[in-house]
Structure 1
Amino acid sequence: MASNDVFVSTDWLAERLNAPDIVVVDGSWYLPAQARDPAADYAERRIPGAVRFDIDAVKDTKSDLPHMMPRPEVFAAAVGAMGIGDGMRIVVYDGLGLFSAPRVRWAFKTFGAKDVVILDGGFPKWQEEGRPIEEGPPRARAARSFTARLDHSAVADADDVARALSSASLQVVDARPAERFRGEAAEPRPGLRSGHMPGSLNLPSSALVANGRLKSPDAIAAAFAEAGVDLDRPIITSCGSGVSAAILSAALETIGKPGRAIYDGSWTEWGASDRPVATGPAKKG
């Protein structure tokens, strides 16, 4: 599937690959357990002309939390140096098909980029179809000017989440695997408690993805309903460190129910704090 507002097809990109107003971005990022090096992968093979966006480099370096959103001027300088400027159409992909690309798209959108889409199926689909691959040292792009204005409403912090949970004004939906949400499996990052935010709901991002692609709109809506989520009420998405939460947000957007915000610090922040933690399944309704 593909949505014109969120996804573009490999056919669409192949026809426009050399267009001067389009920039392709490799936004690959992997969990430690996946044992892959996104920088090395990019250096070896990529979609022709693609630039690399590293969420562990373009971040708030003053925060102890991983890949938190940086200040607007930091983001603007970084992406401008990549050759990404105002008015360009940005196409983001990742090496798993659909994992970290939604986070990169969300970052660009939150800093004011108007036209940012995800490549449906990502690099795996592009390769499977025998489309052009660039190898060797990447080509440098001329620097451009990118105007970054942070949409604060799209980024939730721990206090926002605590207020939402205490007042039930917003739903908080956690994209982590069910075992971690219930507190039955240890967190991959050391020093974090197991469990979830009391009152939050659980929809593992993996339930929305099949073979590196987002499932159908009907399947997405059904998965949210099964998780106890009311699609007509505002939603904050969360996960381990703000990456897979963006998969939920992208899925919501494709069915016309965009989420309110992403909790940037996610469980890495909450689980290391003294805020309340619950275990067991979510209490729906």
Structure 2
Amino acid sequence: MLTKSIISVDDLYHNLDSENLIILDCTIAKITDKSTISEEKKQIKGAVFFDIKNVFSDKETSLPNTVLSPKEFQEKAQDLGINKDSFIVCYDDIGIYASPRVWWMFQLMGFQNIAVLDGGLPKWNSKKYPVEVPCKKQLKKGNFIVNYKPKKLKFTQDVLTAIEDQNILIVDARSKGRFLGIDEEPRKEVKSGHIPNSVSLPYSEIQENGKMKSSKALKAIFDKISKNKKELIFSCGTGITASILALGADLAGIEKVAVYDGSWTEWGSTENLPIEL
């Protein structure tokens, strides 16, 4: 059983031959990143691709990255060979960007034995640890079972109610420019601004050199903004970077947290919802 929600590249390297280890490549491109990657894709040796966009998001909704139902998630996780006793490490090519979303999905589904690779593939590559070109793997179906934790997931009505609740704080992971409505949203159909009574905590502020800040530093950051609130709800553009804040809160020892799955894309494109600039 893991003791923390992050794992160093050295610890993963020394456990590469562990029988129950499953490494998930959770890479997605940033919507705000317009550059194209021309280099040949490489992954950590033995990794399996966890396709957030095309496999682990609900295709029945117009919103991007909406989490699957517990039943669907269980089936798709089993298809990746994940078992009840698996030890999962998730990472991405950027550093720590999409991998916390996958960590959070498993938390939502009641699975604890999972960690995010601190520093992701860039840190792994800096140590010259083994990589490979991705190839299709024959995966034996796993016996993973969901133990759904619905309190970790919030919807628009929950957030609307939370605005007036003195015990709940809504925390926005987007950049300060987007939070204040100074910078345009990357999706044209989405209005600018932020949820009333929410506070800004850009996800980049809880990271340093592509890694998460120390638990002590994270605790100080969250203590400063939370001011004794009993519950934190994290929002962002589409639920990806809100999950980085959820990971940070976990490392800071904060337990009562949830992610607003639709996040600003849903809020800013829905009529008659209050918006602040």
**TM bin (shorter chain):** over 0.9
Structure-1 residue corresponding to 2:245: 248
Q: How does 1:176-187 map to 2 (within 5 A)?
A: 176-187=174-185
Is the CA contact 2:219–2:253 (under 8 Å) kept in the aligned structure 1?
Answer: no
Structure-1 residue corresponding to 2:31: 32
Q: 1:153 to 1:66 in 2, by over 3 A?
A: same
Is the CA contact 1:30–1:36 (under 8 Å) kept in the aligned structure 2?
Answer: no
Structure-2 residue corresponding to 1:22: 21
Q: Secondary structure at the match of 1:33?
A: coil
1:203 aligns with 2:205: no
Structure-2 residue corresponding to 1:12: 11
Can you list the C-alpha shifts for 1:170-191, whole angstroms capped at 9, x where unaligned? 1000011001101111100121
Q: 1:161 to 1:232 in 2, by over 3 A?
A: closer
Which of 46, 49, 61 lines up with 1:49 in the alignment? Answer: 46
Q: 1:84 to 1:36 in 2, by over 3 A?
A: farther
1:270 aligns with 2:267: yes
Structure-2 residue corresponding to 1:143: 141
Q: In 1, Cα distance between the equivalents of 2:28 and 2:35?
A: 9
Q: Secondary structure at the match of 2:163?
A: helix
Is the CA contact 1:27–1:92 (under 8 Å) kept in the aligned structure 2?
Answer: yes
1:49 shift after superposition? 1.0
Is the CA contact 1:253–1:259 (under 8 Å) kept in the aligned structure 2?
Answer: no
TM-score, scaled relative to structure 1: 0.90
Q: How does 1:21-170 map to 2 (within 5 A)?
A: 21-35=20-34, 44-57=41-54, 58-170=56-168
Q: 1:261 to 1:135 in 2, by over 3 A?
A: same
Q: In 2, Cα distance between the equivalents of 1:259 and 1:215?
A: 20
1:269 shift after superposition? 0.5
Q: In 2, Cα distance between the equivalents of 1:71 and 1:231?
A: 33
Q: In 1, Cα distance between the equivalents of 2:147 and 2:266?
A: 25
Is the CA contact 1:80–1:145 (under 8 Å) kept in the aligned structure 2?
Answer: yes
- Structure 2's unaligned 5+ residue stretches are none
Q: Secondary structure at the match of 1:173?
A: strand
Q: Secondary structure at the match of 1:90?
A: strand
Q: In 2, Cα distance between the equivalents of 1:136 and 1:26?
A: 10
Is the CA contact 1:76–1:148 (under 8 Å) kept in the aligned structure 2?
Answer: yes
Is the CA contact 2:230–2:256 (under 8 Å) kept in the aligned structure 1?
Answer: no
Q: Secondary structure at the match of 1:147?
A: coil
Q: 1:32 to 1:260 in 2, by over 3 A?
A: closer
| Aligned positions, number | 274
Q: Secondary structure at the match of 1:29?
A: coil
Q: 1:119 to 1:156 in 2, by over 3 A?
A: same
Is the CA contact 1:92–1:104 (under 8 Å) kept in the aligned structure 2?
Answer: yes
Q: In 2, Cα distance between the equivalents of 1:80 and 1:29?
A: 21
Q: Look up the equivalent residue of 2:246 and give its one-letter code.
A: S
- Structure 1's unaligned 5+ residue stretches are 280-285
Is the CA contact 1:157–1:263 (under 8 Å) kept in the aligned structure 2?
Answer: yes
Q: In 2, Cα distance between the equivalents of 1:221 and 1:205?
A: 14
Q: Secondary structure at the match of 1:25?
A: strand
Can you list the C-alpha shifts for 1:56-78, whole angstroms capped at 9, x where unaligned? 12111111111111111211111
Which of 181, 186, 189 lines up with 2:187 in the alignment? Answer: 189
